[in-house]
Amino acid sequence: MRAFGLSRRPALMLLVGLGLSGCVPGAERPELHLEVPASYRTAGKGDADAAVPALAWWRGFRSAELTALMESAQLYNLDIAVAIAQIAQADANVGISGAALLPSLSGSANAERQGAGAASGTTGAGGTFSQFSAGLTASYILDFWGKNRATLAASEESATAARYNREVVALSTMATVANTYFQVLAAQDQIKVARRNLGAAERILALIKQQFSGGTASQLDVSQQEALVATQRAAIPPLEVTVAQNTAALALLVARAPANFTVRGGSTTQIAVPRVTPGLPSELLYQRPDIRQAEAQLTSANFSVDAARAAFFPQIQLTATNGTQSAALASLFGPGAWYYTLSAGLTQPLFDGFQLESQLKLAKGQQLQFLQAYRKSVLSAFADVEKALVALQKYTLQERLQSDVVASSRKAFEVAETQLRGGTVNLITVLQAQQTLFTAENNLVTVRLNKLLAASSLFQALGGGWTPAGTLAALQ
């Protein structure tokens, strides 16, 4: 942060004293109280000394297709394109605000021809005459109270916030691409599970029909298994809908028409989960572009208060005019046609229906708004990391435990199917074993998806490898 240093004490009081140059003497800044923890509750040993995530953090998942999607989104995503256009607008506003600090110069040229007829009852004759003039006018408003400098500084900070916003949008887009891709993989895994279990249910149905033909199974047994087969088959179309809809969402993220876009996909088991270490909480104040954006917005609001306060003071304007004037075009630039004027004016607001006072109150209200928004962005960042850390830790543990459940359930179903063929177990036991295996495998896919989403969320919460020095320099 440019404006203040950071301490690693659990409780920290920060004075927001941003952008004091060019301000009205005595301008106050609101105090900002932030509680910065010394470490994360869920962080492991050694995580405090960890480096920030790599810039291309998604490569850690070791998926060539995911990497290609990420690179396409960076180039073609329309939300990022909108954010870049907003940077151009913010830069233009800086130019508009800076113009008030420079003199204005304008040129003029006039040619007039007037005629008058003789008045009624007089002997005088009417006539015509011409008037030619050319000149330059320069004017300059003395920024004695710093109003224009404060307005320019506010625009510059808004332009900085627009650049941080581009990084916020890019980071959010990258995380959305990853999460949507993981949703596709998980749905494909669930389709495989459903089809595998459908095949197993059809095998059991064929076996029961054989037993029914031999008189060792009832029609009820056949109907129950047919109902299970139909249930397994009906579970597949909704999963195919999930794949298709998330594929269309990915197409939008990379600015492609869904009809011309396909995702090969695969399985969540093929995705590696990189080890992510969070570092110190205070580092988030530098790593997260949304926090830097909120800081820039607060700084801009501070300058806007300065500009609104300076509007109460007199405005001093200097004007100079230099030119020539003549009744004949040929002598317009002759020695006797030259003239000049110099003037200085002072304007002091006396009564404006409390407009200036209301504008100052508005600026202070916006300053307070951005102050609280900054506090929230910092605390939200800490909360995001904590939530992602605990989710990644617990879902990793749950995946290991759920894998044991799947292994045991598969073994139980295999034994039940073998015993059913030998006629030593009833159908109810087989149905229960099959349903348990199907549920366990689906739950394992869900847990793997949750773990991947938690890893993606942690990268996003840590700023996604964004670096202020490198990324913003490329946007200047």
Q: What is Dmax (Cα atoms) for the chain?
A: 141
Say what the pLDDT of residue 118 is: 55
Say what the pLDDT of residue 168 is: 94
Reported as type and span, the H/E element at residue 314 is none
Neighbours of 65 (CB within 10 A): 15
Instruction: Select from 34, 44, 15, 163 the least CA-distant residue to 471.
Output: 163
Task: Measure CA of the first residue to CA of the last residue in the chain; give whole Å.
Answer: 18
Q: Which residues of the chain have pLDDT under 70?
A: 1-28, 44-52, 116-126, 330-332, 336, 466-476
Q: Measure the CA–CA gap between 174 and 271, rounded to whole angstroms.
A: 16
Reported as type and span, the H/E element at residue 270 is none
Q: Residue type for 62, please?
A: R
The residue behind tokens 């087969």 is 229
Neighbours of 141 (CB within 10 A): 19
Rounded CA Rg of the chain? 37
Say what the pLDDT of residue 189 is: 96
Say what the pLDDT of residue 14 is: 35
Q: Measure the CA–CA gap between 171 and 281, rounded to whole angstroms.
A: 19
For the chain, the 3-state helix, strand and coil shares in percent, each to the nearest 5, are 60, 10, 25
> In Å, how far are 109, 110, 177, 342, 439 from 324, measured between CA atoms?
10, 11, 68, 15, 94
Q: Measure the CA–CA gap between 81 and 339, rounded to whole angstroms.
A: 54
Decide: 130 and 327 in contact? Cβ < 8 Å.
yes
Decide: 344 and 278 in contact? Cβ < 8 Å.
no
SS3 108: strand
Edge-to-edge strands of the sheet including 315-326? 104-116, 127-142, 315-326, 338-347
Q: Tokens in use for 430? A: 């087989």
Q: What is the pLDDT of residues 245-281, one digit of tens each?
A: 999 999 999 999 999 999 999 999 999 998 888 888 8
Pairing between strand 104-116 and 31-34?
unpaired
Q: Where do the domains of the chain lie, and which CATH numbers do they carry?
A: 42-110+129-356+365-475 (1.20.1600.10)
* Angle between helices 147-213 and 219-234 in degrees, nearest 10: 160
* Residue 81, burial from CB neighbour count under 10 angstroms (0-12, 13-18, 19+): middle
Say what the pLDDT of residue 28 is: 61
